[in-house]
């Protein structure tokens, strides 16, 4: 499958896109591989995650996925090869994440020798794998088994040291940071942190979730009238962004976080389903991600094709939620994301960050085009519906059916390198594996040729 590559001139605002690389292990239409990334929809792609060791070195959390050694999948190499398609793209490695916790970060940040070891290893890691920099995802300094007495200052010192070394090497330094005041003020010396970072990915989501005893929007733009106590009044994008700006962060460094997933709840009383209604715990899990209380936009839009959900827009908070029997989901759709982009442009912020690409309708299962949410973001920043893309030419041959008869992933019977996806409404989308890889129908991935029984499906 050959490709026509369309280039356009970019503007200064950033579109920072995290990729949850473990989504390649999901089943069916939820499986998200490197080839599902359109490298023109983002200015910065962030590979999530790599880990940190107590000795200050970086580790591959999933070496089989990340690397090529021992017949690995070579995700990192393929990820960074996207820059050959879009030379303007920047790629970064996210170190940490929620599951990595805080303790090891706290140990490294407290010791000058360990901090310097991390810096050397981060530079070596970036250059060895062709990353343009590192995104530090310590969640969070002085919290979650960190050291409340010293983390805040040590984090600032560490970032300052990293930035000084990265500037000499021409590398980018960003960080994912807590959004709301009551958390951010515990963790950050904001003036120093913002000076050290090239930009800050502010996680303006997870405002409400299964940890609450009532349902609330995942990422409301404004406070609701029922948010009367101080902590509740902070749980919205507007309060968070203005807090960070009030602490002296230059607006061009503020990257507004938008979730491409929703938070679900189980209502105590299905007849009482307004925002703030009592809940008994997390709601349904996404059919691919399988985490109770969390559902990707792609997962929910698929459900809507066969299930009847009531959708309500809350004018006060500029948020949308869906209900069905005792299930309640607060999420973002095309409308709410468009509103958030208007807000971002009005404040003249530095750009937008999304968590994460695999949660969009990346195959176009629900809509006529793939990546509907990312396209709204791109169109808003570029004031254009002319979305740059890699345009596949037809891969259909005499040995490949023109119409789909079943949903899923299928090998092209005429060539080992190509495969196609059939969506639930019978549409077909063709894909090609990266150079040197073949499609593996057993695992539904692009794999090393010696691992694939290509003769099982090649037309003879």
Catalytic, out of 13, 100, 139, 417? 139
> From CA 143, how far away is CA 209, in angstroms rounded?
19
Report the percentage of the chain scoring pLDDT > 70.
92
351, 202: one domain:
yes
Residue 308 forms part of a structural domain: no
Q: Is residue 292 part of a domain?
A: no
Helix (H) or strand (E) run with residue 44 in it: strand 44-52
Separation of alpha carbons 133 and 139, rounded Å:
19
On the 0-12 / 13-18 / 19+ scale of CB atoms within 10 A, 247 is middle
Residue 62 and residue 125 in one domain? yes
Our answer to whether residue 346 is catalytic in this structure is no
Q: Strand 351-355 relative to strand 254-259: parallel, antiparallel, unpaired?
A: parallel
Q: Between the CA of residue 174 and those of 47, 183, 350, 374, what are the distances in Å?
A: 13, 19, 13, 21
Residue 115 within any structural domain of the chain: yes
Strand partners, 134: 93, 173
Last residue of a domain, one of 323, 350, 382: 382
Q: What is the pLDDT of residues 8-29, one digit of tens each?
A: 333 479 999 999 999 999 999 9
Which CATH number do you get for residue 423?
A: 2.170.140.10
- C-alpha angle 39/40/41, rounded to 5°? 95
345 and 417 both lie in a single domain: no
Q: Please name which of 36, 114, 140 lies closest in space to residue 429, comparing C-alpha atoms.
A: 36
Any residues with CB less than 8 A from the CB of 415 and at least 6 apart, and which? Answer: 458
CATH label of the domain that carries residue 349: 3.20.20.80
Residue 116 lies in a domain: yes
Instruction: Give the count of beta carbons closer than 10 Å to the beta carbon of residue 27.
Output: 12
Residue 73's domain comprises: 3-259+333-382
Give the number of domains in the chain.
2
Nearest-angstrom CA–CA distance, 320 and 119: 43
In a domain, 313, yes or no: no
Query: pLDDT tens-digit profile of 169-206?
Result: 999 999 999 999 999 999 999 999 999 999 999 999 99
pTM, two decimal places: 0.85
**Residue 114 and residue 187 share a domain:** yes
Helix (H) or strand (E) holding 161: helix 151-169
List residues bridging with 323 in a β-sheet. 310, 328
User: Which is nearest to 41 in space by CA: 71, 66, 73, 8?
Assistant: 8
Domain shared by 337 and 452, yes or no: no
pLDDT tens-place values along the chain, 460 residues long: 333 333 333 347 999 999 999 999 999 999 999 999 999 999 999 999 999 999 999 999 999 999 998 888 899 999 999 999 999 999 999 999 999 999 999 999 999 999 999 999 999 999 999 999 999 999 999 999 999 999 999 999 999 999 999 999 999 999 999 999 999 999 999 999 999 999 999 999 999 999 999 999 999 999 998 888 999 999 999 999 999 999 999 999 999 999 999 999 999 999 999 999 999 999 999 999 999 999 999 999 999 999 999 999 999 999 999 999 999 999 999 999 999 999 999 999 999 999 999 999 999 999 999 999 999 999 999 887 777 666 433 333 333 345 677 777 888 888 888 888 887 667 777 777 877 778 887 777 787 787 787 754 333 2
Evaluate whether 433 touches 78 at the Cβ level (below 8 Å): no
| 101 and 191 together in one domain | yes
């Amino acid at each position: 499958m050959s490709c026509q590559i369309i280039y356009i001139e970019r503007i200064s605002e950033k579109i920072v896109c995290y990729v949850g690389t473990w989504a390649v292990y999901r089943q069916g239409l939820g499986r998200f591989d490197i080839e599902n990334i359109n490298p023109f929809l983002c200015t910065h792609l962030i590979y999530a995650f790599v880990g940190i060791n107590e000795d200050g070195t970086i580790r591959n959390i999933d070496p089989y996925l990340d690397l090529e050694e021992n017949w690995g999948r070579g995700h990192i190499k393929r990820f960074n090869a996207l820059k050959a398609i879009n030379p303007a793209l920047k790629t970064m490695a996210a170190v940490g994440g929620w599951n990595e916790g805080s303790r090891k970060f706290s140990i490294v940040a407290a010791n000058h020798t360990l901090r310097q070891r991390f810096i050397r290893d981060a530079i070596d890691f970036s250059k060895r794998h062709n990353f343009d920099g590192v995104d530090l995802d310590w969640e969070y300094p002085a919290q979650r088994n960190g050291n409340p007495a010293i983390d805040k200052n040590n984090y600032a010192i560490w970032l300052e040291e990293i930035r000084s070394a990265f500037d000499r090497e021409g590398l980018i330094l960003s960080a994912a940071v807590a959004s709301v005041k009551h958390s951010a003020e515990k963790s950050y010396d904001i003036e120093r942190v913002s000076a050290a970072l090239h930009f800050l990915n502010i996680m303006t989501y997870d405002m409400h979730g299964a940890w609450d005893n009532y349902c609330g929007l995942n990422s409301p733009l404004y406070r609701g009238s029922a948010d009367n106590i101080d902590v509740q009044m902070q749980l919205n994008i507007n309060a968070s962004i203005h807090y960070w700006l009030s602490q002296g962060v230059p607006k061009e460094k503020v990257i507004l976080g938008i979730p491409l997933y929703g938070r679900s709840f189980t209502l105590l009383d299905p007849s009482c389903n307004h925002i703030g209604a009592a809940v008994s715990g997390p709601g349904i899990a996404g059919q691919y991600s399988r985490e109770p209380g969390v559902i990707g936009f792609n997962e929910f839009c698929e459900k809507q094709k066969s299930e009847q959900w009531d959708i309500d827009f809350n004018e006060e908070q500029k948020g949308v939620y869906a209900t069905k029997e005792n299930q309640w989901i607060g999420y973002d759709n095309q409308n709410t994301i468009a509103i958030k982009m208007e807000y971002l442009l009005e404040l003249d912020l530095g750009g937008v960050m999304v968590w994460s690409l695999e949660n969009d309708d990346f195959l176009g299962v629900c809509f006529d085009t793939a990546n509907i949410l990312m396209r709204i973001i791109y169109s808003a920043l570029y004031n254009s519906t002319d979305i740059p893309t890699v345009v596949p030419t037809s891969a259909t041959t005499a040995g490949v059916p023109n119409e789909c008869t079943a949903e899923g992933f299928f090998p092209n019977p005429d060539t080992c390198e190509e495969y196609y996806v059939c969506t639930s409404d019978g549409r077909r989308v063709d894909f090609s594996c990266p150079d040197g890889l073949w499609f593996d129908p057993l695992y539904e991935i692009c794999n090393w040729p010696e691992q694939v029984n290509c003769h099982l499906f090649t037309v003879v």
